[in-house]
Structure 1
Amino acid sequence: MARREWTFRGAGARRDAGRVRFRHRDEIWRDFPDLVPAVLFLDGITPDADVSRSVAVHTATALDRLGRGGESGMPEIQAWRRAFAAQGIRPTQYRCASESLLRRLRREGALPALHPLVDVCNAISVAYAVPVAAIDIDRVSGGLEVGYASGTETYVTFAGDVEHPDPREVIFADAGGYAHARRWTNRQSGRSAIRTGTTRALIVAEGLHETAGADVAKLLDALAEALREAWGVAPATAILTADRPAFDTAG
């Protein structure tokens, strides 16, 4: 099967206003062949949705699992620690998003309420121990690619400070030269974080562990159900592979 390939350019991004594109570059599939990504796109988000039932159910699942052993022993977390080490990142200094959330949940017994979309994504992330990123796609220039940084990209922190990723650090990069996540699943950018005015979001979940194929598919189903329940809209969804690496709402 022919692979769908495209490159991001500023002019093209202007012509394709409203189009949502996402992929992992070939180098990521080459270096992390066990990767299983799930992608969802949701239009029609509001900040007043009730996600309490979904959050409670998935948080309870995570707490039950934590009661049987700490997050560091979970195969999902161990796989991400190996991936971070392969990038030259100390996995106990910089933790993947799901490990950080699980540590907080174990210590505090609950996760903070931030925004209904973020809350449900965080709850499902801890239930499956898999990183889940929610991105305000209207704050992204063109499409998003996951790949190695050149070091020239611009990353905006939640505090508004500007950083530049280290060369060969795995980032989510757009056509405008912005990095929307640093250290792969470690730090999301404040530039495209979900906020009160967000109406369209791209959600990405990525697993690397042995049973990621089955687990990420279950996570995708659970997340799609939670989003339909909260906003009454069926999201567009996909599981990506090295042979079919691109998500594109243009079809």
Structure 2
Amino acid sequence: MQFEHSAHLRAAHPDLVAGVVQATGITATADVRQRAAGHLARARERLAGGPESTFGEIQAWRRAYTAMGLRPTQYRCASEALLRRLRLDGELPRLHPLVDLCNAVSAAYAIPVAVLDLDRVDGDLTVRPAHGDEDYLTFAGDIEHPDPGEVTYVDAAGRAHARRWVNRQSGLSAVRADTSSVLIVAEALHADAERDVTGLVAALVADLTDGWGPPVASAVLTAATPRFTVRAAGVPGEEVAPATR
């Protein structure tokens, strides 16, 4: 299986950098609360200096949404929505250890992070403008079709795993109690995206290793290296050094 952003999308967003981590052996019983709390503390510290709307990472996504014809305050990128909730409520909801961890990492770095159950993704996964006939499963169980031109994650079966790029994930590939194999994707568009995504990936590798064991593979994708190969179990991948704490 291959994961990549389409050439059309990269041409429209040349500053795009994506971090990808493949992990197996995921369970719903791991205790990563301390690591998640550390990331949330970092997010709260940054929010103390000003609201999330002032962050360069968020502003870059707002500009991208405006360029795509979307109102950025109506359709917030996932990291902005998390930071806004953290600022207003003081906490983030607990759903699943891995989801909670990735939400905390997303808030700490102000970068959207998606977690997809690989057993529910059919074949290659491409981030591209929709044709309009892709099937998107909501968390309520309804089927929607992304608007033509709307950026989404599309697999080989024509199923859409996101709406409005990094606004909302699909209920189909969302992490469940029985999820064991995942693909984690972080995407950024701001000036220091490559540096920050590299740090985010390294932090996730350290967190996953502590909670579930070493990930199968990880990489930082740019225009020069745009594709990630999801590896079969037992096939070693590229290692990323743990982040400095």
For normalisation by structure 1, the TM-score amounts to 0.91
The answer for the alignment partner of 1:199 in structure 2 is 180
Quick check: 1:185 aligned with 2:157? no
Paired residue type of 1:232: G
The answer for the alignment partner of 1:175 in structure 2 is 156
Structure 1: gaps (5+ residues) = 1-19
Question: Matched residues, percent identical?
Answer: 57
Are 1:228 and 1:235, in contact at CA under 8 Å, matched by a contact in 2? no
RMSD: 1.0
The equivalent position to 2:44 in structure 1, one of 63, 71, 94, is 63
C-alpha deviations, 1:44-102, integer Å up to 9, x for none? 10110001111110000000100110000000000000111111111010000000000
- Stretches of 4+ moved more than 3 A in 1? none
C-alpha deviations, 1:193-218, integer Å up to 9, x for none? 00001000000001100111111110
C-alpha deviations, 1:84-121, integer Å up to 9, x for none? 11111110100000000000000111111100110000
For normalisation by structure 2, the TM-score amounts to 0.93
Structure 2: gaps (5+ residues) = 232-236, 238-245
2 CA distance for matches of 1:178 and 1:78? 29
Are 2:22 and 2:215, in contact at CA under 8 Å, matched by a contact in 1? no
Quick check: 1:26 aligned with 2:10? no
2 CA distance for matches of 1:69 and 1:24? 32
Q: How far off is 1:243 after superposition?
A: 2.4
C-alpha deviations, 1:102-144, integer Å up to 9, x for none? 0000011111110011000000000000000000011011021
2 CA distance for matches of 1:131 and 1:85? 17
Quick check: 1:79 aligned with 2:60? yes
2 CA distance for matches of 1:98 and 1:234? 23
The answer for the alignment partner of 2:21 in structure 1 is 40
Q: How far off is 1:242 after superposition?
A: 1.5
The answer for the alignment partner of 1:164 in structure 2 is 145
The equivalent position to 2:198 in structure 1, one of 199, 206, 217, is 217
